[in-house]
Amino acid sequence: MPVFVNTRQELFDELETAESSLAIVEYFTKWCKQCTESEKWIEKIEHENPNTLVIRVDADILSSYAKKMRVKAVPTFHFYSKNKVIDRFVGAKEDKVKALIQKNAKKGSRKSSAAPKAKNAAPVESENDTNEKNEIIVETHE
């Protein structure tokens, strides 16, 4: 079942949890008809692809972050592997999302072969939470 997040911290935590799998972040709004339609099939897609985590972000609630991530229309799908955006798609086309999952499935796998996570890792709270490679910047507090 897709995970709904309402804060950047929740989003970063979910992406950290999915570090070794393919994660899809869907930026949506409640008023968007296409977003309502995508909600109907996105859960099915996640169920059919157990190595994929779907995270839904309300672009009205996290509007400044959505803007920072260059979300100009909804629904927008960002595909992540190891905290990096590896693909993007705008629109509510189920077949296109499925094709991008297949294309990127090998880049993310839920196998627990990932390196151990840093203790007390937290996202940097600054104007630039991502670098030029779209990697989420994480600062370790020890």
Establish if 127 belongs to a structural domain: no
User: Domain holding 73: CATH number?
Assistant: 3.40.30.10
Nearest to 38, CA basis, from 49, 23, 27: 27
Q: Are 93 and 41 in contact (CB under 8 A)?
A: no
Q: Give the range of the structural domain holding residue 59, as residue numbers without chain letter.
A: 3-111
Over 50: is that where the pLDDT of 137 sits? no
Establish if 141 belongs to a structural domain: no
75 prior amide bond cis, ω within 30: yes
Nearest to 110, CA basis, from 46, 13, 23, 42: 23
Establish if 123 belongs to a structural domain: no
Establish if 14 belongs to a structural domain: yes
Establish if 34 belongs to a structural domain: yes
Establish if 117 belongs to a structural domain: no
Establish if 133 belongs to a structural domain: no
Q: What domain count does the chain have?
A: 1
Per-residue pLDDT tens for 41-91? 999 999 999 989 999 999 999 999 999 999 999 999 999 998 899 999 999
Establish if 99 belongs to a structural domain: yes
Q: What's the pLDDT score for residue 25?
A: 98
Predicted confidence band at 11 (pLDDT cuts at 50, 70, 90)?
very high
Strand partners, 5: 57
The whole-angstrom separation of Cα 15 and Cα 76 is 17
Q: Are 53 and 18 in contact (CB under 8 A)?
A: yes
DSSP for 23-41, written as a single string? EEEEEE-TT-HHHHHHHHH
